[in-house]
A and B are shown apart, each in its own frame.
Chain A
Amino acid sequence: MAARSSSDAESALFSGAEVEFLAEDDTVVMVPTLRMDTLHLICGDFGPFMPQVPTSVPLWLGIAMKKRGKCRLRAPEWMTVENLTQVLELERDSPQEFQPLPFHYVEVSRLLMDNARDDLVDVYMVQTLIEDIRNVRFHKVQSGLQNLSGKTHAVKLKNLAAMEVNLIRPFFVKALEKFYIHDDEELIKPTQSEADIQLASVDRLPRRVLRPR
């Protein structure tokens, strides 16, 4: 047996900060309060910025300007009480499915609530709704675990979000790996065929003894 490392969950895992880093590349609409020329960044060109003219920028850029009081951020369309109430309802009604939400909905809403709270409408309501949605979805993931078995070769997770993926990854991967190892037919077969050979040779033995006559 060659030495094999078990998959290193630690290294494959994205840290919370890394998941947030990825979310900060999502776009957000901001309304500048100042005039500024176009920014030619490595990650793209943004602006020019005119007071009161909404423009799309990466979230990290919007937050950086917001922190300096140079703009207001607009909540994305999905982040309204109306939409989230509907999502929560659908989420509760369909135990097998996840509703489509942005891949980084947890991080984006968190970042906006931490950094641009005064720009958001109904912020408490929105926060509670997102919390509820997260809980319902996570409960679904957990009950979905019961369906894993040695026969599981693929799991489809439509609309699962980044933070949810990251949460379930260590356990899912470990569980599936173990199932796969113990379900490996090739590990069982060799012992069977060895047994067959032994039986066959036992059959032949008496005949050989008889032949000389």
Chain B
Amino acid sequence: MEPAGAGARDEEDLVDGGIGDVDGLDDVGADELRSDVDLLLRVWQNEKCAPEILPYEATLVERVREQIQLMEENIEAFATEIKDDLMLSLYRMDVNRTLFLLRSYLRARLHKIERFPIHIVDNPELWDRLSEHEQEYTNKYCEILAKHFEKTVLIRLPDQYGSMLKQTSLASEENDMITQPQLNTFVFCRSRGAIGSFQLDDKGDEAVDLMTDDLYILRYKPVRKLLVTDKIELI
């Protein structure tokens, strides 16, 4: 992962103080945008904290992308018209923060794809969670990975060890060399509403009362449904 939050800060250094006149800057952006950034923040945190890949937020990403593009165009236009360095730099910081968030979200997903490519390809439910571009990327990644293993290691091994997916073709009936996410890991989460008593295992002898805004460390597997239905958020 690359150092975070840097984008927003770089911009400050570009524009120094000493601004004289203050002019207006009209009609930039649109209404009710706050919620989209807030949504993306939550989606980003969830994606970073969850061990498996989560459904791709296509419409949200599209909306945020449009807003960033619009804002960048506006800034360019205003930069020539109006010479208010302070306002311009604040607008640039805002765009950079949003860009950082979006990039980090997409990068967190790529990171998971690169860790569990074959697992994702093999699993239709996970496969459907990817965007079109991500699916393309995953396919190509798998292809390259297979070629690489073949060339560097597998070709030199005895036949029965020649598969990338099996330990040996004699002893293993199933593909047992595929890296999978550890779903029994523990996550820090916050309930977004009073869920009440919630079962933590199949046998039903472990339950927890999930109260609004309280913080819990829970095993991921039992609460993954709550996450997908937006009942909890990971932090």
Chain A residues near B (Cβ < 8 Å): 1-8, 10-12, 14-15, 17-18, 20-22, 24-25, 34-37, 39-45, 60-61, 64-65, 67-70, 153-160, 162, 165, 169, 172-173, 176-177, 180-181
Contacts and interface: CB of A to CB of B under 8 A. Distances in A.
A17 B215 contact: no
Interface string B183-220: 01111100000000000110000101000001111110
B4 A15 contact: yes
11 contacts: A1-B176, A2-B174, A3-B180, A4-B179, A6-B182, A40-B27, A42-B95, A44-B37, A60-B8, A153-B206, A155-B216
Contacts of A7: 51, 181-182, 185
Contacts of A169: 188
Interface of B: 1, 3-6, 8, 12, 16-17, 19, 22, 24-30, 33-34, 36-37, 41, 45, 48-49, 51, 64, 67-68, 71, 86-87, 89-91, 93-95, 97-98, 100, 104, 108, 111-112, 115-116, 174, 176-182, 184-188, 200-201, 206, 208, 214-219, 235
Contact of A12 (B49, B86, B87, B218): B49
B153 to A, nearest CB: 16
A45 B86 CA distance: 16
Contacts of B95: 42
B24 A43 contact: no
Contacts of A153: 200-201, 206, 208, 218-219
B216 A154 contact: yes
Contacts of B182: 4-7, 177
Given A5-B180, A11-B108, A65-B86, A42 B71 contact: yes
Contacts of A17: 3-6
A35 to B, nearest CB: 6
Given A15-B1, A41-B91, A176 B178 contact: no
Given A7-B181, A61-B94, A165-B188, 17 more contacts: A4-B179, A4-B180, A5-B181, A11-B1, A11-B48, A22-B45, A24-B5, A39-B91, A41-B91, A42-B36, A42-B98, A68-B16, A69-B17, A153-B200, A157-B214, A157-B217, A173-B187
B86 A36 contact: yes
B179 A156 contact: no
A201 B224 CA distance: 43
Nearest to B12: A64
B87 A172 contact: no
Contacts of A8: 115
Nearest to A1: B176
Contact of B29 (A14, A42, A159): A42
Contacts of A42: 29, 33, 36-37, 64, 67-68, 71, 94-95, 98
A64 B17 CA distance: 10
A162 B188 CA distance: 11
A2 B29 contact: no
Contacts of B218: 153-155
A180 B48 contact: no
B1 A43 contact: no
Contacts of A160: 215
Contacts of A65: 86, 90
A64 B181 CA distance: 41
Contacts of A35: 22
What 5 A-B pairs have minimum CB-CB distances, sorted nearest first? A44-B34, A7-B185, A40-B29, A21-B5, A68-B17
Contacts of A12: 48-49, 51
